[in-house]
Amino acid sequence: MIIFDATNRVTFIHRIDPRARVVCAIAFAVTVCFFSRVQALCVGLAGSLVLTGFAHVGNRRTLKRIGALNLFTLVLLALLPLSGTGDVALRLGPLYWHRDGIRLATVIALRANAILLTCLSLLGTIEPTQLGAALNRLGVSSKLTRIFLFMIRYIEVLHEEYHRLRDAMRLRGFRPRCDRHTCRTFGYLVGMLLVRSFDRAERIVEAMKCRGFNGHFFVLTPFRVMGRDVATAIAWGVYLAGLCWLEWR
């Protein structure tokens, strides 16, 4: 289970300061959340697609994530218009799909896809340690950044531990069913996973103390604001201003 995509190709986006990328992604997400016109959202989605091409994150894993998101939007598109009012776009027996519901579901789908693609392009291309350091430099609590870095580092370890426990259950002949025994067994599984996670966390803390950990993670590559970072911030601001003009003109 991998959260961040590692790519061997270094693009222009990879050379931008991580702090600038975090700020640009947050600004885009907040701005797009206020949009309701389909035209502005389509332009924003097109820009996100172009950004994805520049970042070279259009691989199979990215397509799976987009597919998982759009499965939800398809369900939303099928159910949300049923609770709408106004003109009826489609009638199937006692079911009515209203135009305003279809439009609202379309707006939500465009927003979600645009934000997802932009975050994958700007944030998914940052090394997790650099992302944590960038968040800390931007004023995020050091405790939260440490929790984030530990989560990125050990979520794969917990995932492997979960699969080991599931394999042990299968070797003992366990087959999940819709009964009380299955619920109790999965409860034991979650409890054992929590106990082993707690034991591993204690060992990690002791190992870090033995190595002189003082509550700070150090980044070997220092952050420096370059001319390209300033130019990117200005261009991104102009881009968001253009989207706002399309929305509120």
For the entire predicted model, the pTM comes to 0.78
pLDDT at 84: 66
3-state secondary structure of 88: strand
**Tens digit of each residue's pLDDT, the chain (249 residues):** 444 554 556 778 888 888 899 999 999 999 999 998 999 999 999 999 899 888 887 677 778 888 888 888 888 888 887 776 667 777 777 777 778 888 888 899 999 999 999 998 898 888 887 888 888 888 888 888 888 888 888 888 888 888 998 898 888 888 888 888 889 989 999 999 899 888 888 888 888 888 888 777 666 667 788 888 889 899 999 999 999 998 888
Are 2 and 61 in contact by the 8 Å Cβ rule? The answer is: yes
Q: How many CB atoms are closer than 10 A to CB 181?
A: 10
Are 227 and 12 in contact by the 8 Å Cβ rule? The answer is: no
Task: Look at residues 119, 102, 201 and name the one whose alpha carbon lies nearest to residue 158.
Answer: 201
pLDDT at 219: 65
Q: How far does Cα 131 stand from its chain's mean position? A: 13
174 exposure class (CB count in 10 Å sphere: 0-12, 13-18, 19+): middle
pLDDT at 61: 75
pLDDT at 64: 82
Which 3-state string (H, E, C) describes 140-174? CCHHHHHHHHHHHHHHHHHHHHHHHHHHHHHHCCC
pLDDT at 1: 40
Query: Residue for token digits 């027996």?
Result: 93
Q: CA 165, CA 168: separation in Å to the nearest integer?
A: 5
Q: CA 78, CA 89: separation in Å to the nearest integer?
A: 12
pLDDT at 3: 46
